Amino acid sequence: MITRNPCIANIKSGYLFPEIARRRREFAAAHPETGDAESRIISLGVGNTTEPILPHIDKGLVEGARRLGAAKTYSGYSDEGLLELREKISAVFYRGQPGADEVFISDGAKCDIGRLQLLFGAHTQVAVQDPSYPVYVDGSVLIGAAGGWQYEGYRGLNYLPCTGENGYFPDLSKLPANSLFYFCSPNNPTGATASREQLAALVKAAREKGALIIFDAAYGEYIRDPALPKSIFDIDGARDCAIEVNSFSKSAGFTGVRLGWTVVPKELKYAGGESVNADWNRVCGTIFNGASNIAQAGGLAALDEAGLKEIRELTDFYLGNARLIRETLHQLGISCVGGDNSPYIWAHFPGRDSWEVFSEILEKCRVVTTPGSGFGPAGESFIRFSAFGHRADVEEACGRIARM
Ligand code: PL4
C-alpha cells in the first residue's frame, strides 16, 4: 500500500481555528440559543472580516465579472498576475521599489506562506516569533522543514519568545544562522507593531547571520502611527534578506474574495548564488495558476484614490471595535496590548491556562475568543480578542465581558 507522508503525523491533530469552531459548536449544542439577544453567541475569535465590501471596490469586482461575459473583454489565465495590478502595488505600497517584476499576485497570504516553503526544503532551520500565526509552524512541519521529517512534533523549530518582558520583540541573538525567520508586524496575535529601529535591527541580524526573513505584512493597513513602517522594504538592506507577503483580506474585506501578493526582490540569493526571485517564478508557474481575474479587478479598484479611501474607512471601523474591547478590558483591570495599530488585542490572565479562560468567557459571556497558547508556548495565559465584528455585536460582547 501507499505510505503516508511522515510529516503529516508530526503536525498537531487539529488546526487552531477549526478546533475553536468545534468547541463553539459543542457549547452551542449543550447551551442552545433561545432567541433572545443575551443568549446569542458572539465571536471575537477568528480574524474574519464581517463588514460588506465598500461600494467603489465592490463596483470594481462587479465590472471584473462583467468583462468575462463579453468577447472583447474576456480574459483567461493571468499566471503571475495582471501587470497593471503588479505595477499599482509597486507604486502604491513601495513607491516603485520593489518594482512590478518583483511583485507576484496570489490568492492570499496564507496560500503563499505555504508555497514559499517549497523554495527551501527540509534541511532548513526555521525560526518563529513565539507566539505566532500557526501557519508558519504547521506549514514548516508539514513540509518537513526544521527537521520535521525526523522529529516527532515541533522540536526542530526555533521559538523566539515575544513577551511583555522584551516588549514583544525577540532576542535576535537567538536567531539561528542561515535560518528562515517568520516575522509578522503588526503582529498576529499580540498586536505589537515593530518600530523602525526594531526592524533595522532585524534586518541587520538577518544579514549578519545569513538568515532570510519572511515578513508578513497582512495587517499593515491598520498602522496609524506614521513613524511605524508598513513594509520591511522601508528598511535599508532588506532587499537581500527579506521576502514580504501581503493581502487584501483585512484591508479591503477580501477574506472570501482571495487576493494577496508576495514581493521577492531580485537581489535575494541562496548560498549558491541562485536567484530566489527566478525560483519563485518557477514554483508559482508550476503549482499555481494565478488569482481570479475578478478578484484582481477588485484589487485594482482598491488601489485607486477612491479605493484607498475605502480601505481607510474599513480599517478605521475595525480599529473602532478594537478601542471598545481595549477600554472594556482596561476597566476590568486586565492588562492588554495591541488594538491601536492592529485589529487584535492580547490580554493577560496571569497564572491561568488559556483554554480555561477561553471556556470561562464562552460559558459566562457566550463570547468566543482565541486562546493564546494556540499561537505557541509563550501565548499561555493570554487570550486574543479579534476586533472583526459588527459594531452592535462588539458592543454587546463588551457589555457582557464588563459584567463578568
Ligand atoms: C483563519 C498573519 C486570521 N482560516 O486571507 P489571507 O490568506 O490573505 O491571510 C491570512 C493571514 C495571513 N497572515 C496572518 C494572518 O493572521 C492571516 C489570517 N489570520 C486569524 O484569526 O489569525 C484568520 C485565521 C483562517 C486561516 O487559517 O488563516
Atom 11 of ligand 1: nearest residue by CA position:
110
Measure the CA–CA gap between 241 and 338, rounded to whole angstroms: 27
Measure the CA–CA gap between 140 and 159, rounded to whole angstroms: 13
Using the 3D structure, point to which of 263, 283, 305 is the last residue of a domain.
305
Atom 20 of ligand 1: nearest residue by CA position:
47
From the number of C-beta atoms within 10 Å of its C-beta (0-12, 13-18, 19+), residue 102 rates as: buried
pTM: 0.97
Residues 191 and 81 in one domain: yes
Residues 281 and 270 in one domain: yes
Residues 246 and 121 in one domain: yes
Could you tell me if the CB of 21 is within 6 A of ligand 1? Answer: no
Half-sphere exposure (Cβ direction) of 115: Cα atoms closer than 13 Å = 25
Residues 166 and 236 in one domain: yes
CA of residue 40 to ligand 1 center, whole Å? 25
Sequence-distant (≥ 6) Cβ neighbours of residue 126 within 8 angstroms: 136, 140, 145, 146, 156, 157, 158, 179, 180, 181, 182
Residue range(s) defining the domain that contains residue 362: 6-51+308-402
224-249 pLDDT tens trace? 999 999 999 999 999 999 999 999 99
307-360 pLDDT tens trace? 999 999 999 999 999 999 999 999 999 999 999 999 999 999 999 999 999 999
Q: Is the pLDDT of residue 374 over 80?
A: yes
Could you tell me if the CB of 109 is within 6 A of ligand 1? Answer: yes
Residues 105 and 251 in one domain: yes
Q: What does the pLDDT read at residue 157?
A: 86
Tell me the Cα Rg of the chain: 21
Atom 14 of ligand 1: nearest residue by CA position:
218
Atom 3 of ligand 1: nearest residue by CA position:
47
Residues 211 and 112 in one domain: yes
> 123 lies in a domain?
yes
Measure the CA–CA gap between 50 and 318, rounded to whole angstroms: 10
Q: Is the pLDDT of residue 146 over 70?
A: no
CA of residue 3 to ligand 1 center, whole Å? 31
Measure the CA–CA gap between 231 and 366, rounded to whole angstroms: 37
Could you tell me if the CB of 250 is within 6 A of ligand 1? Answer: no
Q: What is the CATH number of the domain that holds 14?
A: 3.90.1150.10
Could you tell me if the CB of 129 is within 6 A of ligand 1? Answer: no
